[in-house]
Every structure is written in structure tokens, then in C-alpha cells.
């Protein structure tokens, strides 16, 4: 059997982390097993539909390299892949269910349903549609349809039946059909609900493994009743664990949790985010954390998916992002980082390649770049204590002495560049018998006013230029007087 997975997003907004993980796992499993990864756009909920959301879906799949084998723009044998273009199909299949007694027309108005609900509530009962329209005669149905009355088609759930299925992650799930409502399959606008369309389409598209969020776990028995009524083989269900913001709360856009594109806007790299998301609910039993795409495909298995929720840890993602940034070749980093420099007018006065070389290995996310370079236009107020350094055996007096010596050396350099600055400082160490750090440390603090400096005394001096370097060292010496 050739594996066929699908990603079936509803275009209702941004690409959330959970959705992207579903897409990724579906892709990885298909690629691992030599199967097909299918994309289907579930756009039947006209109320929640957002124009731009479909674009976001395709853009995300492209950016993340989750290439699909079949879907919009890549027609296979099972199209169309937009559910809104499959409308006639759903009516046809709903009618088949009606013939089998597994579904029925319902003409109840909203007011009537509201009354039923209210009366159930007053009796303290859980509301379930009371099957009012189940036994309408064929003639009456035809008459009412001909009169133009609005109708929906509902599932006819059998009473008191154990409905169960085996989920690849969550194991055996059973519910009693008395706890299931006669859900709407086809709405009065002729479009299907998710509950119906997912079954019809997964079957018609030959999907073998349904990977999706575990919020669908409890509805799946209802879907299995539909498969049964049609006489179709249900797919293998792979419900994915929850992603949490912390121990108590699910990740949710309503609470401001970031979407995939929000993370990119914050300066995370696509590959780092995808790598991190892969580990949210899956591991291959090793401690490995950084994976190339090929390695992920190779290592991925359904057995590695856990059923316990995983926590989206932004600090872990930052760490992973910094590893990706470090591993970029400089030209690639430069290309990615440049837009962040350009947002800050002041940084345009400096050599952008040198600036970015300085901070590549010290950057966790690209948006920190301007902050890291804040020392360039001017040195922040700081204290003489920052010049003291245990390891370099530097106290206030020692630091001052080094600064005075460094100043002379800097002043004597004619041709100002990294090599001449480097040679001057090293020769100072040799002449004075001081360790390099005793010379370099005070100089670098003086040049940026920070004790966690974005670079060494040589690179910093080179970038800010001779005149500014001398000014900063002189100002620092004044602090000691």
C-alpha cells in the first residue's frame, strides 16, 4: 500500500505552529515511506474564510520546502483540491447516506432549534438534536424542498452502539453513540461541514494516514460511523499531541502566541523554526536536536510521536536559531541580516559586512541586531568597575594604565585596519610583558561601554575608525581621574 497523507488546512487566518507541525509530520511521513503528500484546502466555512489565508498557506509550504505531490496547482487524479470546488460531490454522497438510512433531511428552523435547546436546558439535560425530522415521508420532503424551504442534511446516529477506533498515538478510543449528536453533514448553503467533507475527501483522495491535531480525537468515532455506512475502509488515524504555552495553557492565537510568520518577523530563521517544530511531540529516541531536512525524513517515524503535550519553549527555539545562524556561511547571513541593519539609519555610516561579521556568532535572532549595535553611534554611560577583570588580574589602576598605553599605540597607527591595529596591540603586550587580555579587555570596554561586548578591541576599533576610537579611549581614561 502506498502511503498517502494530507495537509487539510482551513484558510481562516495565520499559519499557526500546530498547523505547521501537522503539515510537517504529514510531509515527513510521506517522504519517509516513499508515499504522497497531498494538500487540500478546506474552505467550506464561508463565515470564517479569509481571503489572504490561502496565500499564507501556499507561501508557508513554499518557504518551508514542504513540497506536495498533489494539490492546488499540482493536479492529480483526485482534484479539485479546494473543497468549495467539490460542492456537487458532497450532495451526491449525502444522498447516498440518506438512501442507506444513515442521514436525513432536516427542515428545523433556527428558532425551533433554539427552543429545543432552551427546553433541554431547563430540564437540566445536555442538548442533542431530538431527531424531529428523522421520519418525514418522502412526499413531504419533496414538497417542502419544492416549496423552497431551507434544509440541512444530518447524520442519523444509531442509538446505544459502542463506536470505537484505534488511533496510532492515543490507542483504543471508544464512545457510546448515545453521546453523539446527529451532526449536520450538509449545510443549508449546500456546502458540507468539516465533519462530512473530511470523510468524503479522505476516502476519495485515497488517504491512508490522517495526521491531525488531537482536538479531532473525540469526533473521530462519528466519522467512523460514516465510513461504516458507506462501506468504506477508514484510514489510519494519527492524532498529534497538544502544543502548550506552559503547563496549563494551550498555545493559542487568542492569547497572543506567535504564528509562523510572526516568528519570522521576529528574526527567526525558517529552517530553525521547522527543526524546532519537528521536535514538538516527536523524537527519534536520541538526544539529537539539530536535523537537516534529509535527516528528519530519515529519522521520522510514527512510533516516535508522543501522546503527552509538549511545551513551546521560546528560549529553546532562540538557542536553536542561534545554532542555525552560526552555521550559515557569512554571505547567506549577510543577505538575511542586512534588512535589519537597514531599518536603522545610523548603521548606514559603517561597513555593513564588517558589522555583521562581528556579531554573527553572537546573534540569537535577527531582530536583536540593531540592539547589539547600539554602541556604534555613542558609548553608554558606564562604570570603571566594568574594566576590572579577575581572570586578567585587572583592577581599576591596572585598567587605567593599560588604557593609557593603548591610547599611545592607537595614536601611532598610520594605516588604520584590522592587521595594523592587531599588531599594535600585540606588540604592546610584548613590550609591557602583559597578557593580551590585560590590554584588549579595557580597550574593548572603552570602545563600546558594555561588559558583554559585541566584538574584540581590534574589530571594534577598525569598525568605528581611528578618530572615534581615540576619542572613546580618552573619554574612558577621564572616567578614572
- Which residues are near ligand GLU by CB under 6 A? 8-10, 42, 194, 198, 212, 216
Rounded CA gap, 176 and 226, in Å? Answer: 15
| φ/ψ of residue 184, rounded to 5 | -75, 130
Q: What minimum distance in Å lies between the beta carbon of 39 and ligand GLU?
A: 11
Catalytic annotation, pick one of 2, 74, 95, 253: 253
Q: What angle do CA 452, 453, 458 make, to 5 degrees?
A: 150
What are the distances in angstroms from CA 183 to CA 8, 132, 219, 430? 21, 13, 10, 84
Instruction: State the burial class of residue 361 (Cβ atoms within 10 Å of its Cβ: 0-12, 13-18, 19+).
Output: exposed
Identify the helix (H) or strand (E) that includes residue 340. Answer: helix 330-342
Q: What minimum distance in Å lies between the beta carbon of 212 and ligand GLU?
A: 3
Residue position matching grid coordinates 498533489: 70
DSSP state of 389: B
Rounded CA gap, 44 and 186, in Å? Answer: 10
> Which one, 31 or 209, has the nearer CB to ligand GLU?
209
> Which one, 216 or 319, has the nearer CB to ligand GLU?
216
Residue position matching grid coordinates 491531525: 212
> Which one, 54 or 469, has the nearer CB to ligand GLU?
54
Residue position matching grid coordinates 517522504: 31
> Which one, 42 or 182, has the nearer CB to ligand GLU?
42
Q: What minimum distance in Å lies between the beta carbon of 250 and ligand GLU?
A: 14
Residue 294 cell numbers, joined:
534529509
Interaxial angle between packed helices 314-327 and 270-278, expressed in degrees from 0 to 180 and rounded to the nearest 10: 130
Q: What minimum distance in Å lies between the beta carbon of 365 and ligand GLU?
A: 28
> Is 253 annotated as catalytic?
yes
> Which one, 205 or 394, has the nearer CB to ligand GLU?
205
Q: What angle do CA 389, 391, 397 make, to 5 degrees?
A: 40
422-448 exposure pattern, b = at least 16 Cβ within 10 A, e = fewer = bebbeebbeeeebeebbbbbbbbbbbb
Q: What minimum distance in Å lies between the beta carbon of 18 and ligand GLU?
A: 9
**Residue 63: count of CB within 10 angstroms of its CB:** 16
Minimal CB distance residue for ligand GLU: 212
> Which one, 93 or 291, has the nearer CB to ligand GLU?
93
Q: What minimum distance in Å lies between the beta carbon of 203 and ligand GLU?
A: 13
Residue 36 pairs in a beta bridge with: 4
Indicate which residues carry an active-site annotation: 253
Amino acid at each position: 500500500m502506498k502511503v498517502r497523507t494530507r495537509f487539510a488546512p482551513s484558510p481562516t487566518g495565520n499559519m499557526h505552529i500546530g498547523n505547521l507541525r501537522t503539515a510537517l509530520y504529514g510531509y515527513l511521513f510521506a517522504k519517509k515511506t516513499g508515499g504522497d503528500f497531498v494538500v487540500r484546502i478546506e474552505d467550506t466555512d464561508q463565515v470564517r474564510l479569509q481571503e489572504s489565508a490561502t496565500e499564507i498557506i501556499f507561501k508557508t509550504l513554499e518557504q518551508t520546502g514542504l513540497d506536495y505531490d498533489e494539490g492546488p496547482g499540482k493536479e492529480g487524479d483526485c482534484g479539485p483540491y479546494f473543497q468549495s470546488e467539490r460542492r456537487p460531490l458532497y450532495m451526491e454522497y449525502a444522498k447516498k447516506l440518506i438512501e442507506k438510512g444513515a442521514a436525513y433531511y432536516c427542515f428545523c428552523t433556527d428558532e425551533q432549534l433554539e427552543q429545543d435547546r432552551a427546553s433541554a436546558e431547563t430540564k437540566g439535560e445536555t442538548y442533542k438534536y431530538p431527531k424531529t425530522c428523522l421520519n418525514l415521508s418522502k412526499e413531504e420532503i419533496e414538497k417542502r424542498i419544492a416549496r423552497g424551504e431551507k434544509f440541512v442534511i444530518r447524520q442519523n446516529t444509531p442509538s446505544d452502539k459502542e463506536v470505537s477506533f484505534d488511533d496510532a498515538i492515543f490507542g483504543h478510543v471508544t464512545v457510546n453513540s448515545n453521546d453523539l449528536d446527529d451532526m449536520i453533514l450538509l449545510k443549508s448553503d449546500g456546502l458540507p461541514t468539516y465533519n462530512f467533507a473530511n470523510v468524503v475527501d479522505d476516502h476519495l483522495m485515497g488517504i491512508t494516514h490522517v495526521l491531525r491535531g488531537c482536538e479531532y480525537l473525540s469526533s473521530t468515532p462519528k466519522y467512523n460511523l460514516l465510513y461504516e455506512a458507506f462501506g468504506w475502509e477508514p484510514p489510519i488515524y494519527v492524532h498529534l499531541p497538544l502544543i502548550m504555552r506552559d503547563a496549563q495553557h494551550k498555545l493559542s492565537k487568542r492569547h497572543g502566541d506567535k504564528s509562523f510568520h510572526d516568528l519570522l518577523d521576529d528574526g527567526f530563521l525558517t529552517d530553525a523554526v521547522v527543526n524546532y517544530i519537528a521536535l514538538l511531540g516527536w523524537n527519534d529516541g536520541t538526544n539529537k536536536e539539530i536535523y537537516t531536512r534529509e535527516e528528519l525524513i530519515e529519522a521520522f517515524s510514527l512510533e516516535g510521536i508522543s501522546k503527552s503535550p509538549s511545551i513551546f519553549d521560546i528560549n529553546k527555539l532562540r538557542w536553536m536559531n542561534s545554532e542555525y545562524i552560526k552555521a550559515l556561511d557569512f554571505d547567506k547571513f549577510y543577505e538575511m541580516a542586512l534588512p535589519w541593519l537597514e531599518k536603522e539609519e545610523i548603521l548606514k555610516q559603517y561597513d555593513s559586512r564588517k558589522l555583521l561579521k562581528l556579531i554573527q556568532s553572537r546573534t540569537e535572532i535577527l531582530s536583536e541586531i540593531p540592539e547589539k549595535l547600539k554602541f556604534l553611534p555613542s558609548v553608554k554611560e558606564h562604570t570603571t568597575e566594568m574594566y576590572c577583570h579577575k581572570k586578567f588580574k585587572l583592577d581599576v589602576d591596572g585598567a587605567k594604565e593599560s588604557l593609557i598605553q593603548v591610547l599611545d599605540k592607537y595614536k601611532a597607527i598610520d594605516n588604520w585596519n584590522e592587521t595594523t591595529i592587531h599588531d599594535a596591540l600585540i606588540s604592546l603586550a610584548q613590550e609591557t610583558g602583559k597578557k593580551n587580555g590585560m590590554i584588549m579587555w579595557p580597550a574593548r570596554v572603552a570602545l563600546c561601554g558594555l561588559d558583554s561586548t559585541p566584538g574584540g578591541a581590534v574589530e571594534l576599533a577598525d569598525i568605528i575608525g581611528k578618530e572615534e576610537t581615540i576619542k572613546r579611549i580618552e573619554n574612558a581614561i577621564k572616567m578614572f581621574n
